[in-house]
Amino acid sequence: MTLETESTVQPLAGQEENAVRPAPQPVGNPTPSITGASKLTEIIVVTSGKGGVGKTTTSASLACGLAQRGKKVAVIDFDIGLRNLDLIMGCERRVVYDFVNVINGDCTLKQALIKDKRIETLYILAASQTRDKDALHAEGVRRVFDELIADGFDYIICDSPAGIEKGAHLAMYYADRAIVVVNPEVSSVRDSDRILGLLASKTARAEKGESKVKEHLLLTRYSPRRVANGEMMSVDDVKEILGVDVIGVIPESQDVLSASNAGTPVILNAESDVAQAYEDAVRRLLGEEVPLRFLQEPKRGFFARMFGG
Amino acid sequence: MGLLAFFRRTPATASLAKERLRIIVAQERTNRDGPDYLPLLRRELFEVIKKYVNVDPEAIQVTLEKEEGHDVLELSVALPGKG
């Protein structure tokens, strides 16, 4: 077992796990320190409605990008029954405990958080593979979030399942910010609008009448060539239909499949356009103004256009 | 893009997608923000109108417009031309 567990071992002073986090708090206890720290932690849901548009790829890459900038990040897979984030993050063989185990008190949060081997401040919480749909509930999710907040996490990234059922609902429920992943394609755009409606009505912020969840679009599988040919809707088309600002445009690329094959989040493949587009999105998340890139087809010579792929 | 594809361009359907989405998204937002009875009202109106005129479901538009101080329920039925 390679997962770092601390239930039996007394951590030594200066050990990395010990240095970054305070002692674990028992699950179920109210966390007293949230009042001061709560403002510092941002909960971000990565959602879409439609499946297969790149939610998990996006969650993994944004989490990596934020952690590489020194932020302490937890990325959580909310897809009950269908665990996938661990594969994309390349830590599938290190999963011992999952999200539902923590909620049920089968283990501590510290035991279930998988520390990324590449980036110091990145942690993954795997989805449960249980078939029990009620295993995840709002009160349990809140407890886990409060513990992460008390532990000084800067970001909690919630990787939502597809659809609008319970897992998707809970992934967005406590969000401060939402990244709606959308393909420039009719069904994905329509489902995104549905999700925007839910973000505006079925979240804790909406129910309590607090300031609304900050919404952004992130376009994936964007093909500038097809847009130029009028075969694919443009960024501006999608933005106009949905009326939400765009935080990133990720070009269509074979690098995404290669990255998932290898279990390395695509943002870590520095040469890839996809990685650079995700880096830009991370910078925008952090409040920087970065112009959109990769919206134009790269210039190609005559022979490449005639015979190239 | 190979030699063949260069001459055989796929039709430009993006504008079609945009137009269809614009309409359906607007309609779904009306349903979402409006009262729960709107979809049912639309269905029942369709059933009634169909008794007299043979119309398509898409010929019936039920929208709720917010105006100052009150809402206006707008019903528009495009009747088929004489043929």
Q: Note the pLDDT tens digit of each residue in A87-137.
A: 999 999 999 999 999 999 999 999 999 999 999 999 999 999 887 878 999
Q: Looking at residue B6, what is its pLDDT?
A: 58
pLDDT band at B32 (very low <50, low <70, confident <90, very high): confident
Contact A307 B2 (CB under 8 A): yes
Q: Which two tokens stand for residue B2?
A: 């190979």
Identify the CA nearest to A180 among candidates A268, A3, A59, A288.
A59
Mean pLDDT of B26-47: 82
| pTM for this entry | 0.80
Identify the CA nearest to A142 among candidates A97, A104, A173, A178.
A173
- Give the A window 156-215 contacts with B, CB below 8 Å: 185-186, 189-190, 193-194, 197
Query: Which of A190, A225, A233 shows the shortest C-beta gap to B24?
Result: A190
Distance from chain centroid for Cα A11: 30
| Predicted confidence (pLDDT) per residue in A19-71, tens digit | 444 444 444 444 444 444 445 899 999 999 999 999 999 999 999 999 999 99
Query: Which of B3, B11, B21 shows the shortest C-beta gap to A189?
Result: B21
Q: Which of A188-197, A203-212, A293-302 has the lowest mean pLDDT?
A: A293-302
pLDDT band at A260 (very low <50, low <70, confident <90, very high): very high
Report the alpha-carbon distance of residue A253 to residue A236 in Å, rounded: 21
Q: Looking at residue B59, what is its pLDDT?
A: 83
Q: Which of A71-75, A121-125, A164-168 has the lowest mean pLDDT?
A: A164-168
**Is the pLDDT confidence value at A7 over 60?**
no
Mean pLDDT of chain A: 87
Q: Looking at residue A300, what is its pLDDT?
A: 66
CB-based contacts of A141-147 (< 8 A; 24+ apart in sequence): A141/A103, A141/A170, A141/A173, A141/A174, A142/A174, A143/A27, A143/A28, A143/A103, A144/A27, A144/A76, A144/A99, A144/A102, A144/A103, A144/A109, A145/A43, A145/A174, A146/A30, A146/A31, A146/A34, A147/A25, A147/A27, A147/A31, A147/A109
Q: Looking at residue A34, what is its pLDDT?
A: 43
Report the alpha-carbon distance of residue A27 to residue A110 in Å, rounded: 10
Q: Contacts of residue B14 in chain A, CB cutoff 8 Å?
A: 227, 230-234, 237
Q: Looking at residue A5, what is its pLDDT?
A: 44
Q: Is A298 on the interface with B (CB under 8 A)?
A: no
Report the alpha-carbon distance of residue A245 to residue A58 in Å, rounded: 17
| Predicted confidence (pLDDT) per residue in A179-188, tens digit | 999 999 999 9
Contact A237 B18 (CB under 8 A): yes
Q: Which of A7-21, A155-169, A294-308 has the lowest mean pLDDT?
A: A7-21
**Is the pLDDT confidence value at A247 over 60?**
yes
| Number of CB pairs, chain A paired with chain B, less than 8 A apart | 56
Angle separating helix axes A166-173 and A138-150, nearest 10 degrees: 40
pLDDT band at A305 (very low <50, low <70, confident <90, very high): low
DSSP character at residue A158: E
Write out the DSSP string of A200-248: HHSSHHHHHT-SPPEEEEEEEEE-HHHHHTTSS--HHHHHHHHT--EEE
Q: Is A242 on the interface with B (CB under 8 A)?
A: yes
- Give the B window 25-44 contacts with A, CB below 8 Å: 25, 28-29, 32
Q: Which of A51-55, A159-163, A283-287, B37-41 has the lowest mean pLDDT?
A: B37-41
Burial class (CB in 10 A: 0-12, 13-18, 19+), B70: exposed
CA distance B2 to chain A (A): 5
Q: Residue A225 in contact with residue B9, Cβ under 8 Å?
A: no
